[in-house]
Amino acid sequence: MAEKPLGIFRSSSRRRPDCKRKSIRKPLDSTPSPPTSLISGMSAPKLIIAVCTANVCRSPMAEALLRHALRAEPEPLRSCKVISAGVAARQGEKMSENSRTALAKVGLRIDEHRSRLLDSQLADQADLILCMTESHRAVIQLALNPAPDKIYLWRDFMPGNTDREIGDPFGGSIREYEACRDEMVDALPSLLAHLRSL
């Protein structure tokens, strides 16, 4: 299923121009940056939800990458559950083939994945919701009542003036999916550092 923009997030969900750059595979065990917490008074998360539009391209890759990274962490982070969902997902769709291939190229598989919609019941269970774009965050805040308060972008914890959004590779080449994956990998050290600081 295409990750089509809905309503208010037409502009932000477009693919980033630099998604077409040559993909550079990053090691999954990169040395993390110093912790920088944006949340105070929060214990280690028990459930993290990665969110994109249709839950077939970006968020399944994010789910697999973060699951893999957390396996190398001490408890309680190692036991943290990571799932994914979409703000406009159909129930039960398989992950896109290019997402599956992009993960396989770094030794990861998530064959059991089936898409699901992020609804209020699921969001209420989450300790942290990590979106791909500002538009996803806006949709969640507008659509869910009450709006979850622990919503961030996947790349929010990166230092410096870097692009925080991860564009939609749907319909693009495998190189675009790999570039998307690598943008997620780039953010893992700062994301893990943040999780350790909670």
Catalytic residues: 52, 58, 168
Query: CB of 78 within 8 A of CB of 68?
Result: no
How many angstroms separate the first and last alpha carbons of the chain?
Answer: 36
Rounded distance, CA 95 to CA 3, Å? 11
Q: How many CA atoms lie within 13 A of 100 on its CB side?
A: 10
Query: CB of 170 within 8 A of CB of 14?
Result: no
Phi then psi for residue 131, to 5 deg, are -95, 160
187 Cβ contact list (under 8 Å, min separation 6)? 154, 155, 157, 158
Rounded distance, CA 11 to CA 39, Å? 28
